[in-house]
Amino acid sequence: MTNERRVLLHQNKQALAGSVAARFLTNMVDVLAKQDEAHVVLTGGSVGIAVLAAINESAARDTIDWSRVNFWWGDERWVPRADAERNELQARDALLDHIDVPPGNIHAFGASDDPAEAGVDPLDAAAARYSAELLAHAPEGAQYPRFDVTLLGVGPDGHIASLFPHRSGIRERDASVVTVRDSPKPPSDRLSLTRPVLNSSDRVWLVLAGSDKASALGLALAGASRDEVPAAGIKGRYRTMFFVDSDAAAQVPENLIAPAY
């Protein structure tokens, strides 16, 4: 299999979410036919959660043996565990609470109201715990699992996960998890996987909808630096796909777009 980078155009956000959901389910069937378990990285945001809801609503949902699928997150907001802004809570509401996935297969980041460790900064401690959990599920000699699919949203500024332009997080090479403080997008404190972890995935799927994403997408595909547009520095091991609606694709050259409807 060779590395590919493709842009798939959809008429609107609903069609985009349905397309990603259908492709995800098909991919999980293929992955689980070849290996014992799968590792998936989830994203938050309105489009990312819409994809999870579309998976839940699909007639093919229960063709997957969810007991063999592990779910991780690309990033998380440092808020209480029951906060509606938390990516984990939104993912549970949209999909995870509706499928037969063991609790141990859901690898959520820590929350701001988790019990604190004496003398340790809570955000730093949460990053260390998630790094340790990644390591515990990694192949021998690796720091993190071999991810099969990583879903990512892209912000209007080109950020992915909680790796923002011109911040140290996008340049981190050694750590698997970084803390984010004074984020340009609220809430100010966050946790995020780093670029090497995201790029370790066999397939990276970036999902974008809306005209406010057009500039970031255009710059990412035009070869902008990862410091300026973090999405430009993301590339799956085998395949990188941009699932976009017509508004987000406004600044993408036509020769890069493959219609998906």
pLDDT reading at 227 higher than 80: yes
For the whole model, what pTM was predicted? 0.95
3-state secondary structure of 45: helix
pLDDT per position as a tens digit, 3-55: 667 899 999 999 999 999 999 999 999 999 999 999 999 999 999 999 999 99
Closest by CA position to 26, among listed 70, 73, 63: 63
4-10 vs 239-245, strand pairing mode: parallel
- Mean pLDDT of the residues in the chain: 94
Number of domains the chain is built from: 1
Residue 169 domain boundaries:
4-259
CATH code at position 242: 3.40.50.1360
Spatial contact of 76 and 42, defined as CB atoms under 8 Å apart: no
Distance CA 247, CA 57 (A): 25
Residues forming beta bridges with residue 191, ordered by sequence position: 76, 179
Q: Supply angle C-alpha 192, 106, 183, rounded to 5.
A: 20
**Which residues lie closer than 8 Å to 95 by C-beta, 6 or more apart?**
52, 53, 55, 56
Kindly report the backbone phi and psi dihedral angles of residue 46, in degrees, each rounded to the nearest multiple of 5, phi listed first: -65, -40
Per-residue confidence (pLDDT) for residue 117, from 0 to 100:
85
pLDDT per position as a tens digit, 102-156: 999 999 999 999 998 888 999 999 999 999 999 999 999 999 999 999 999 999 9
- Rounded to whole angstroms, what are the CA distances from 188 to 86, 180, 243? 13, 8, 28
Per-residue confidence (pLDDT) for residue 89, from 0 to 100:
98
